[in-house]
Structure 1
Amino acid sequence: MNYDLPPPNEAQIRWIERLLQPWNWLTEPVYLSTYNIPKDGPVLFVGNHSLMGGLDVPLLALRLYQEHDIFLRILVDHAHFKLPLVKDFLARLGEVEGTSENALALMRQKQYILVYPGGAREAFKQKGEAYQLLWRNHLGFARLAIAAGCPIVPLAAVGPEECYDIVLDREELLQTPLGQIMERFRLRRDLLPPLVKGLGPSFLPKPQRFYFKFGRPIDSRPFAELGEEAGPLALRDQVKLALEKEIAELQEYRKIDPKKEFWRRILPF
């Protein structure tokens, strides 16, 4: 694993900008409280996964690099790295398989890391689970932050969740022949995405406006004094509460945004 991957050069950045320009124009992201981003690494951003995942991350990563000179390293689900071509592509983008060894190595190199503790389960939500943090008993990110003395920045995202509507969620799909095949081969249930629709009946995402908000950094070091079990649990709970607060504040901000609808953003007045 190449932990010390160099950031993209100027030509690559220009190519990425051109590639993302239409999506950036359609979503016109808003970035709030960027003053909470620490000037030096290591930093662990902990975010909420949007439905289907991935629609917001490229824009966020590009913005952090352009405005803050941060080359974001993203911890992704192990399943992505089992696919040879996908694995190579993700690695070139700076994405890293989400193992404790990889995360700790990045922290020791003082890098900026993004993790979604909800993983695939949170990205592949069921009906009625919008904006819920489905972290279950995951404590890995908290243990690693304490071990490395790494601050955690809650990173809330609002907007991508509404790019799709769920037609059939996982539990409903499991009642279909596809679900029966998964049960037969004992495949991971959390890797079964819901059946969704975006624009009309298509899979094209709706052009919702994206909102990002960076919470105050949480110092992980005091939690080491609570012990190996209580420390990570307390840190995880504090991060979760902080992230839920940031999400709620972003939702309120969106309500009063005069340009939250796409048609208002494209009007010349």
Structure 2
Amino acid sequence: MTRTGACLLSAGLLPVFRPSRRYAAVKTSASFAANGLLVKNNNVEYKTKELKDYFVESKDMIKADGGPPRWFSPLETGSHSHDSPLLLYLPGIDGTGLGLIRQHQLLGKIFDIWCLHIPVNDRTSFIGLVKRVERTIRSESYRSPSRPIYIVGESLGACIALAAASCNPDVDLSLILANPATSFSKSILQPLLPLLEVLSNQVYPRVHEILSLMTDRMVKGLCLQQIVGDISQDFIASSFYLSVVTDILPEETLIWKLQMLETASTFVNSRLNTIEAQALILSSGRDQLLPSQEEGVRLCHTLPKCEIRSILDSGHFLFLEDGIDLVSIIKGTYFYRRGKYLNHVSDYMPITPSEFNRFYPPYRFYEDITSPVMLSTLENGMIVRGLQGIPSEGPVLVVGYHMLHGMEIIPIICQFYVQRKMILRGMALPGLFERLRSKELADASLFDIFRIMGAVPASASNLYKLLSAKSHILHYPGGLREALHRKDEKYKLSWPDQSEFVRMAARFGAKIVPFGVVGEDDVVEVLFDCKDPTKNPFLKPVAKDLTSTDANENRKDPTENPFLKPVAKDLTRTDANEEMATEDISFPVFLPKIPGRFYYYFGKPIETEGRMQELRDKEKAHELYLQVQAEVEKCLAFLKEKRENDPYRNIFPRLVYQAIHCFTSEVPTFEL
């Protein structure tokens, strides 16, 4: 039996979308409810759709045309939870509403998706479209005031989204804008518009030739990926795709849409300073229609709450291309929330195996170079290779030494997932999760993988939430000061004199796993460290950004209370009265060496369950803190001694071993 592909969402706001019988019979067929209720079907599994599905379904969609613009919801997106945010998709100049077709299945697990379809022959003005979207926004905001509304807009749709946001500053909106057409005045299509209006017969083929550049590029990519060897099949496929583009944008419609783009760009640019909504801009590096890279940077500096991500190898129609996963982008930017404020625990979406397999290969090279040795301690005290000694049930607080520039983080996070399928959620510097004021540090996208793997800004409230959720947590009491230690402080703990994290752990009965890691001196040599960079006018803003804790989530978190304040000082290390906080932060300069090896040793877990009353006493808590610190130092001493007996400490013996056995084989180490 043929399953339907979409359902209507009128809710009395927009007319009912009633497709033709043929539309209901093909693969892209849709089922519609006259009463506007969403038809859910969670018993059907939908395969991920491809580029060809967009053209096939678009052709059927335009044949079912009739009536003004309306919303529809693809049935393969019906698996979301009841508290999932609403996502409104606003299409580009194609108007089909199917631009997210390759994203539907994954997005549908976390969003309630409504897509706007603009019929080919519809002549609703730009202002008219904005008003229609506004009505939906206000209606849904009134119905669910605590639920944010996401708007994904492409090109023209991005302009509609920005215009709607400027007119509704009181509504909680999150905008995801792909190649916004606010730069239409600089487009290669803009000079052709006056000619197209006068000499349509001569100019129209040229404009379609320009639009087909994107289609031709995607078709070639599709054919290469599917290893299609028959040239005639490629030609037939390309001809079909181009004919659909012509059907979607016939001459009069194309003129109308280009005129609308010009109006939209002018309208939105005059109101950018009134937009307060959170925004994520996705800019394609090979957009042949708009200067999207430059425009993304301009908008990012204009909008107050804006992040930007550049996808260098993509064209104008971003979401239809291979390798684009909007859900992963949302995860990597921490752009997903179910309420007014982001909750780094309840709003976190765990990394999936497919995501890990996609992100892991670049970091696998780093592991191949350092060949990390992971040791852990079983309950009986036996030391084993691997992570079997890490408790399976949380909460677990993994506490240890921070190597220079945090070189140890990637292997430890990845191996916890590879070996135990555990997500080790790191407590990281808040400055790495915000749009830095000074703009002195690297692009924030470099840290997206850590967000996807579960890292959260270091704060007392986040530690509280993670422990209450029984998570596995990676915590460095030494913080930034330890990660940027001086060359004479190698393997020296830079922990504060007092720490409150043990009392927090006892509150939830968490197991504390001390660990040590050595090997930084086997891969780099520190040349020098700055005397006092925080007094340097160029580096002082950087340090301020890194240690900043003024995010909304930290200012207005409901779990903030006097019990958490001491822990906040311990986590952020910004209290001027603390001894360690007053010391200079140095930015060491180092020289790479012939790669050695990293060694990790996780000690026996320390139980805190049932000790909450005991550890309320500060002296008792401090004794446990010193015990954890001593165990970490023992782990470091153990590894420094044992690595001297490792015949494969240098990279060359390891390469020889792998060449003889297998390059994927585990390289031996010292005897346990």
- TM superposition score category, shorter chain reference: 0.7 to 0.9
2: distance between equivalents of 1:10 and 1:186?
35
Name the counterpart of 1:41: 394
Name the counterpart of 2:269: none
Which of residues 73, 79, 90 in structure 1 aligns to 2:425?
73
Structure 2 unaligned regions, length at least 5: 1-342, 377-386, 437-442, 545-582, 661-672
Instruction: List aligned pairs for 1:130-169, cutoff 5 A.
Output: 130-169=490-529
Residue 254 of structure 1, CA deviation: 0.6
Do the aligned residues in 2 keep the contact of 1:142 with 1:236 (CA within 8 Å)? yes
Name the counterpart of 1:57: 409
Which of residues 19, 40, 44 in structure 1 aligns to 2:362?
19
1:260 aligns with 2:649: yes
Which of residues 195, 201, 215 in structure 1 aligns to 2:589?
195
Tell me the percent identity.
29
Q: Does the residue aligned with 1:35 lie in a helix, a strand or coil?
A: coil
Query: Is 155-164 or 252-261 further displaced after alignment?
Result: 155-164
Which of residues 94, 116, 122 in structure 1 aligns to 2:482?
122
Which of residues 594, 619, 644 in structure 2 aligns to 1:230?
619
Name the counterpart of 1:245: 634
Structure index of larger Rg: 2
Q: Deviations for 1:156-211, whole angstroms, at most 9, x for unmatched residues? A: 1111354322222232x54xxx8442698795665541222224xxxxxx522111
Residue 62 of structure 1, CA deviation: 1.4
For 1:266, the aligned partner's letter is L
Query: Is 80-89 or 41-50 further displaced after alignment?
Result: 80-89
Do the aligned residues in 1 keep the contact of 2:525 with 2:591 (CA within 8 Å)? yes
2: distance between equivalents of 1:159 and 1:225?
38
Which of residues 422, 435, 446 in structure 2 aligns to 1:83?
435
Do the aligned residues in 2 keep the contact of 1:223 with 1:234 (CA within 8 Å)? no
Do the aligned residues in 2 keep the contact of 1:209 with 1:260 (CA within 8 Å)? yes
Query: Is 97-106 or 8-17 further displaced after alignment?
Result: 8-17
Which of residues 183, 197, 215 in structure 1 aligns to 2:603?
215
Do the aligned residues in 2 keep the contact of 1:52 with 1:193 (CA within 8 Å)? no
2: distance between equivalents of 1:211 and 1:151?
22
Q: Kindly tell me: are residues 238 and 185 of structure 1, through their superposed partners in 2, closer, same or farther at Cα, counting changes over 3 Å?
A: same
Do the aligned residues in 1 keep the contact of 2:485 with 2:586 (CA within 8 Å)? no
Q: Does the residue aligned with 1:52 lie in a helix, a strand or coil?
A: helix
When normalised by structure 2's length, the TM-score is: 0.36
Do the aligned residues in 2 keep the contact of 1:167 with 1:197 (CA within 8 Å)? yes
2: distance between equivalents of 1:157 and 1:184?
30
Name the counterpart of 2:371: 28
Do the aligned residues in 2 keep the contact of 1:220 with 1:235 (CA within 8 Å)? no
Do the aligned residues in 2 keep the contact of 1:224 with 1:231 (CA within 8 Å)? no
Q: Does the residue aligned with 2:495 lie in a helix, a strand or coil?
A: coil
Q: Kindly tell me: are residues 35 and 191 of structure 1, through their superposed partners in 2, closer, same or farther at Cα, counting changes over 3 Å?
A: same
Query: Is 210-219 or 5-14 further displaced after alignment?
Result: 5-14
Do the aligned residues in 1 keep the contact of 2:351 with 2:452 (CA within 8 Å)? no
1: distance between equivalents of 2:621 and 2:592?
38
Q: Deviations for 1:75-134, whole angstroms, at most 9, x for unmatched residues? A: 012332343663872433311111111011111111100011100100111121111110
When normalised by structure 1's length, the TM-score is: 0.86
2: distance between equivalents of 1:207 and 1:150?
36
Name the counterpart of 1:202: none
Q: Kindly tell me: are residues 183 and 252 of structure 1, through their superposed partners in 2, closer, same or farther at Cα, counting changes over 3 Å?
A: closer
Residue 43 of structure 1, CA deviation: 0.2
Do the aligned residues in 2 keep the contact of 1:44 with 1:112 (CA within 8 Å)? yes
> How many pairs were matched up?
258
For 1:3, the aligned partner's letter is V
Q: Does the residue aligned with 1:36 lie in a helix, a strand or coil?
A: coil
2: distance between equivalents of 1:182 and 1:208?
34
Residue 147 of structure 1, CA deviation: 2.0
Do the aligned residues in 1 keep the contact of 2:509 with 2:612 (CA within 8 Å)? no
Name the counterpart of 2:330: none
Q: Kindly tell me: are residues 78 and 161 of structure 1, through their superposed partners in 2, closer, same or farther at Cα, counting changes over 3 Å?
A: farther
2: distance between equivalents of 1:251 and 1:184?
35
CA RMSD of aligned residues (A): 2.5
Q: Deviations for 1:58-77, whole angstroms, at most 9, x for unmatched residues? A: 22111111211201100012
Residue 224 of structure 1, CA deviation: 4.0
Which of residues 508, 514, 537 in structure 2 aligns to 1:181?
537
Do the aligned residues in 1 keep the contact of 2:402 with 2:408 (CA within 8 Å)? no
2: distance between equivalents of 1:45 and 1:145?
11
Query: Is 189-198 or 256-265 further displaced after alignment?
Result: 189-198
Which of residues 335, 344, 347 in structure 2 aligns to 1:2?
344
Q: Kindly tell me: are residues 240 and 151 of structure 1, through their superposed partners in 2, closer, same or farther at Cα, counting changes over 3 Å?
A: same
Q: Does the residue aligned with 1:46 lie in a helix, a strand or coil?
A: strand
For 2:456, the aligned partner's letter is V
2: distance between equivalents of 1:253 and 1:51?
21
Which is richer in helix?
Answer: 1
Q: Does the residue aligned with 1:16 lie in a helix, a strand or coil?
A: helix
